[in-house]
Structure 1
Amino acid sequence: MTPRTLFLAWQEKDRRQWFPVGRLDADVTRRAYRFRYTGGAKRAQAEAGFPLLIEFPELEEDYRTSRLFPLFRNRVINPGRPDLKEYLRNLDLGHEADPIEILAANGGYRATDAYEVFPKIEREDDGSFSCRFFLHGWRHVNSAAQERLARLTPGEGLYVTLELTNPVTRFAVQIQTEDYFMIGWAPRYLAADLAMALVAGVPDRYSARVVRINPQPAPSKQRVLIELQGRWNGYEPMNGSDYQPVVD
């Protein structure tokens, strides 16, 4: 199996800004896992006082192990749980999904800390890409949008638009229904790269759709699963200084 890359994002509590602070490279077949802080951790330290993780106490260190680090392992459902099958179905995964696939899908969210996990978006040779994420911020849209959200159906097409007046993050990526109800946002830590698909990409080559809708008792963070497809012209995603490992 091809090695895969996940990024660890941290959210500071005052402005609720997200920073990509770490990179996990995983080869499940070879049982090889590697964690390094990224340039985003340095920026988060300077701008928001990011505290290094207890498990990874040195910024300029190359951490390697043959077993998935506890920070990430504790964000994966126990395979012995009786609700495992339903949990994986909510993520649109099969029973054979490995921990890295689960982390890439569930976002690694825990109510007890300010971290999330997301996969590196891979750009194909023709510039195309595809990514999945759970809808963010849907609880904060107006009542009409809430009612429309309740009528979403799997497979339904969606619009993706760039918001330039977001009071928190300055710009954001909105998710709208095809009848123009704004139902939420893409994750903030994906906004910059997705914005490039909207601004510098091929406008008629991006689209979004509803993959799954998970009603209660599924966690609210995993209510609406969305798939977005697009194409960049010469742009390499997640390649800026925030994503570069501090240690080569």
Structure 2
Amino acid sequence: MGVLTGRTALVTGAGRGIGRGIAERLARDGARVAVHYGSREETAKETVAAIEEAGGSAFAIRARLGVPGDAETLWREFDRHADGLDILVNNAGIGTSRPFGEIDEEEYGRLFAVNVKAPHFITQLGAGRLRDGGRIVNISSGLARTAAMPQLMAYAMTKGALDVFTRDLAKVLGPRGITVNSVAPGIVDTDVNADWLRASEEAWQGAAAYSALGRVGTPADIGDVVAFLASPDGRWVTGHWLDATGGSLT
């Protein structure tokens, strides 16, 4: 029996990358996982299939984030498959942005709509479905607290806002025994980063050099961290920003 057997988890943006790594790990620990996706149905189905082939349980739900009514749509789809929730992982997000001098209002608004507004209202509407003693994990970024990277300013700003949400929400939901934490990845080998990360051996080694451990992170690295916070062992950790950059901020 896994430590999460009998519990239900929802991971947004779980069709690929970090989200898929988190979904697969929670399922391996026994949770039934709702695999959320925005537009790529095939990747969500692949995640569900991988979980089921490994002996786990999962289902896919679709809701485009960053548009009016996105949270309502997500929970309407979720409610078709489950009658309650134990673990919510707000992972979905837009991972890049144009520099300060180039970004326009449309892109800026879209970043905050997906990375900040959506997690807020998904959580607000989900709080009634979340059982006492539950877990919320928000996927932040090392960029929220590391050296300035102006080319990603707006993106980093959204993650800073998400961290404030984490800190204050921990106080709001604490009386119900619900923990709320942020996990901040560094450079992770996903398809979002593939174009520049795998452009050359030099690019790969340069990225690996950021980490004190001398390598590039994997989705499984982040999934394992989230699994700790979601487990009974994480019961006394809340309102915390967890550095999961492999020591890139040291």
Give the TM-score, by structure 2 length: 0.29
Quick check: which has more Rg, 1 or 2? 1
**Higher strand fraction: Structure 1 or Structure 2?**
1
Give the TM-score, by structure 1 length: 0.29
